[in-house]
Structure 1
Amino acid sequence: MFNLRPLAWPMAAMLLSMLPGLAHASEFDGAQLSVLWGVPFAGILLSIALMPLLVPHFWHHHFGKVAAAWALAFLLPFAVVFGAGEAASNFVHALVAEYIPFIVLLTALYTVSGGIYIRGNLHGSPLLNVSILGIGAVLASFMGTTGASMLLIRPLIRANDNRKHVAHVVVFFIFIVSNAGGSLTPLGDPPLFLGFLKGVDFFWTVSHIFPETLFLVGSLLAIFYALDWWFYHHKEEVMPRDPTPDTRRIGFDGGFNFALLLVVMGLVLMSGFWKSDIHFEVAGAHMGLPGVLRDLGLVLVTLLSLKLTPALVHESNQFSWGPMQEVAKLFAGIFLTIIPVIAMLKAGANGPFGAVVSAVTNADGSPNNMMYFWVTGALSSFLDNAPTYLVFFNTAGGDAQMLMTAGASTLAAISAGAVFMGANSYIGNAPNLMVKAIAEDRGIKMPSFFGYLLWSGAILVPLFIIMTLIWFI
């Protein structure tokens, strides 16, 4: 039986979000802020980048405290300058409107996917590995990048557990399954889901950036196959005995969790399609009835999966809460310290980051699609890609009907930048960090924060330049 304590805080926060009238947040003007308010956010990013390298033992045991310290480094001065009420309001707003829906969905996908054990010891040849990555790319747009990543990363690691060089397999898994594959539907990645909630048609993305997705995923699969083939035939030191015993056939244990995955997909779709006048207001955040029911349903799905999944399945999957706890704690700090950064971006050309916002507009006032792609993507590499998408969605006019028609090329650039470039760093998209944590938990020595940037800079950035020349000029 699994300990439910890791779920206690998200569930308590979920119940807290149901209490109306807790506080009334006011939208503070980001144009009045100094760029110094971005120091705590920069601090938590540098901590994630440097501390695992410089003080790995301390980081492994205290990363949650480090994230909390940076969050307080923002909240306490903010309370002094703007008042305790304003600080409390923004804290609760970030918790209720952004963090809780984010972490509840991730927890549900992590738990349900972790309850599916793919039986059979596949052997990690280049052809098998590229096949798993291709399947994951397809699944990501229908069960989310998190769901597809959590379903496939364990069998992929197990298939390659007799190989010495495995880190590159996980890096390309992050590129393809945890990011690029989720670009075709609102179910795939949070930025597209936010666009769906803003009025973008469900099938708009697949009809407008399918060629870009096909190019990126196809190129990455081809590069990966060539690289993995080289490692496999020239650099590999295959263990004489495979650590995972062979089994007769491929199959699934805990297969009922596939039905729960469908429930998760249905809940997400329901919250987007169903419009209701009933809402709850907490700290100025309007929580519609569909969103509340979605999150309650996701908590129920999580508990059902934990209750019904046999212990042997979790044991076979080496399921643990460690990766989920790491993501939950680090992103709690990120969601809080990002508050002033997003406010400064929302201030537009008059804000401290006015040069960034102005860069996406031509001198005649028309949108610069190349810059929309790169600026949205660059910020999505290090900020949460969902609010970054919203900032530039609004910068481009914020009218979904106009953006789907006359502004289609601009919306395509924003969508592609937010989803594709989330792969540029470990913190660009939540599954990146989860996959890294699982791989390291299985003994794989993953690249450092900056080491991963070298991988993405050498492989992804040239592909993004080619895409720019073809589609975004």
Structure 2
Amino acid sequence: MLLTPRHLLCFLILLCLPGVAAAAEVDGASMSLLWALPFAGILLSIAILPILASALWHHHFGKITAGWTLLFLVPFLFTFGWQPSLGLGVHVLFGEYLPFIILLFALFTISGGILLEGNLHGSPGLNTGLLALGTALASVMGTTGAAMLLIRPLLRANDNRKHNVHVVVFFIFLVANVGGGLTPLGDPPLFLGFLKGVDFFWTLQHMALPVVMLALALLGLFYLLDRYLFSREDELSSVDPTPDRPLRLLGTPNFLLLAGVVLAVLMSGLWKPGIGLDVLGTRVELQNLLRDLALVGLALLSLWITPRAVRSGNAFSWAPIVEVAKLFAGIFLTIAPVIAILRAGESGALAALVASVTGPTGAPIDSMYFWMSGTLSSFLDNAPTYLLFFNLAAGDAQVLMERLPQTLLAISMGSVFMGAMTYIGNAPNFMVKAIAEQQGVKMPSFFGYMLWSCALLLPLLVVLNLILL
């Protein structure tokens, strides 16, 4: 049957019916932990299958995610009815998923149109400078954008060195994770917080000190280690696999488009005219709609003005963003019952988790929020982990920013920083590892990488906890 304008009009009228909107609410206190099984299944699949069955995951991750999602949606439909099910789908689509994926699409597309071409010589000073540059860019371009821009120039600079694994490991620490902690543009968890109402400048103000402290400590450690290993190079390869070429920065108009992304996000956070539409209980604000349209327009403009050779030089591919889009469609849907259970507090099936992060007086234990959000971010994914603990703490951005700022800081720090503890904690980690291995770097195994992170990153996180929380 063809979908006519009349059908669309009827559907829009249905979405705006107040009775249907009211039916979208589900009481989390009445839900068992079985409702959390599909969400846990998706996250465990992301964590385990790329390691144990990489070919299966690579070719069928979309089907696996869809299977777990249907395992939630079908019982939900039969248990609660079509109105709450439709309300849930609309809320996920307009309130969370589309704004989230549109920002990632814009940053991914625009940063993929910037190419640093040429060859450098990987001395300790130059390597440290490139890592510092990537760390600074990550909060503007996103961790994925900054990582994809600089990983290949860094690998080319060090391809005639015998000791170069540590360069990639610190790159994952700094550029793919820690550097994204300053703004909602930098790392997906912080943008989810922004969508939930956390002020753009709140993040910048409160995360500045921990990001700078951790980044400077890691850069200092890297310089000392790289200087030591550089001095132990018996002899640098006499034939440089990538001979010297002058450095050139191509696709520079995309920096203006990145500035447009920043302005669009800032606009949606600062300009609040109070104009919007209630769609099945989900409020779609005018400023957010304009932001998303602007982001899509900037991404399309980047595709139009960027020469194909520039994207080819970056080995640009749509595969990473397609994978993220499919995975997070399932994650945002299946996390809904978990959030409902958390909101039920001590009356819900996750009362033990609530009790573990709450003191005798009912006040949150900030250190527990830091370590628990960080631990889950390490082994699952930091974006849904942030969302879980955000809702566990209060679920209200104003309450967290004004009454519980240290708790929100703990969740932000744990989710962003500890995404670097494993290859699977944050999406750019595995992408950087794959590119490095393609270039001949013998990257450590999953647990080998954890030895690096536990030896170098974990002690610094302990110090941050003692100083700041």
**TM-score using structure 2 length:** 0.84
Query: Which position in structure 1 is the counterpart of 2:462?
Result: 465
Q: For 1:215, what is the secondary structure of its paired residue?
A: helix
Query: Which position in structure 2 is the counterpart of 1:71?
Result: 69
Q: Which runs of 5+ in 1 are unaligned?
A: 1-14
Shift of 1:236: 8.6
Contact (CA 8 Å) 1:436, 1:446: kept in 2 or not?
yes
Query: Which position in structure 1 is the counterpart of 2:39?
Result: 41
Partners of 1:183 and 1:200 in 2: how far apart?
14
CA distance 1:53–1:372, shift in 2 (3 Å): closer
Which residue identity does 2:301 align to in structure 1? Answer: L
Counting aligned pairs with the same residue, the percent is 60
Alignment of 1:28-427 (within 5 A): 28-163=26-161, 166-193=164-191, 195=193, 202-229=200-227, 231-234=229-232, 240-248=238-246, 250-382=247-379, 385-386=382-383, 388-389=385-386, 392-393=389-390, 396=393, 404=401, 407-427=404-424
Contact (CA 8 Å) 1:114, 1:314: kept in 2 or not?
yes
Which residue identity does 1:338 align to in structure 2? Answer: I
Contact (CA 8 Å) 2:100, 2:191: kept in 1 or not?
no
Partners of 1:94 and 1:448 in 2: how far apart?
36
CA distance 1:363–1:261, shift in 2 (3 Å): same
Shift of 1:39: 2.2
Instruction: Please give the per-residue CA displacement for 1:163-188, whole angstroms capped at 9, x wherever unaligned.
Output: 56655433322221222222233443
Structure 1 vs Structure 2 CA RMSD: 3.3
Q: For 1:324, what is the secondary structure of its paired residue?
A: helix
CA distance 1:48–1:388, shift in 2 (3 Å): closer
Shift of 1:274: 1.2
Shift of 1:393: 4.8
Shift of 1:209: 4.1
Instruction: Please give the per-residue CA displacement for 1:15-65, whole angstroms capped at 9, x wherever unaligned.
Output: 99x967547461322222222222222222332233233333222222222
Partners of 1:242 and 1:350 in 2: how far apart?
64
Partners of 1:203 and 1:319 in 2: how far apart?
32
Which residue identity does 1:217 align to in structure 2? Answer: A
Shift of 1:454: 4.4
Shift of 1:75: 2.0
Partners of 1:367 and 1:47 in 2: how far apart?
31
Instruction: Please give the per-residue CA displacement for 1:284-330, whole angstroms capped at 9, x wherever unaligned.
Output: 32221111111111111111111111111112222122222232223
Q: For 1:287, what is the secondary structure of its paired residue?
A: strand
2:25 to 24, 27, 30: 27
CA distance 1:44–1:238, shift in 2 (3 Å): farther
Partners of 2:465 and 2:458 in 1: how far apart?
10
**TM-score using structure 1 length:** 0.84
Contact (CA 8 Å) 1:181, 1:213: kept in 2 or not?
yes
Contact (CA 8 Å) 2:96, 2:195: kept in 1 or not?
no
Instruction: Please give the per-residue CA displacement for 1:79-137, whole angstroms capped at 9, x wherever unaligned.
Output: 23333443343234323322221111111111111111112212333332221111122
Higher alpha-carbon deviation: 331-340 or 383-392: 383-392
Partners of 2:45 and 2:270 in 1: how far apart?
40
CA distance 1:92–1:203, shift in 2 (3 Å): closer
Q: For 1:122, what is the secondary structure of its paired residue?
A: coil
Query: Which position in structure 2 is the counterpart of 1:6?
Result: none
Matched residue pairs, number? 456
CA distance 1:256–1:334, shift in 2 (3 Å): same
CA distance 1:63–1:208, shift in 2 (3 Å): closer
Query: Which position in structure 1 is the counterpart of 2:3?
Result: none
Partners of 1:36 and 1:168 in 2: how far apart?
42
Q: Which runs of 5+ in 2 are unaligned?
A: 1-7
Contact (CA 8 Å) 1:197, 1:272: kept in 2 or not?
no
Contact (CA 8 Å) 1:92, 1:282: kept in 2 or not?
yes
Which residue identity does 1:176 align to in structure 2? Answer: L
Partners of 2:201 and 2:31 in 1: how far apart?
39
Instruction: Please give the per-residue CA displacement for 1:133-169, whole angstroms capped at 9, x wherever unaligned.
Output: 1112222233433333333233223333445665543
Contact (CA 8 Å) 2:43, 2:380: kept in 1 or not?
no
Higher alpha-carbon deviation: 125-134 or 268-277: 125-134
Contact (CA 8 Å) 1:209, 1:416: kept in 2 or not?
yes
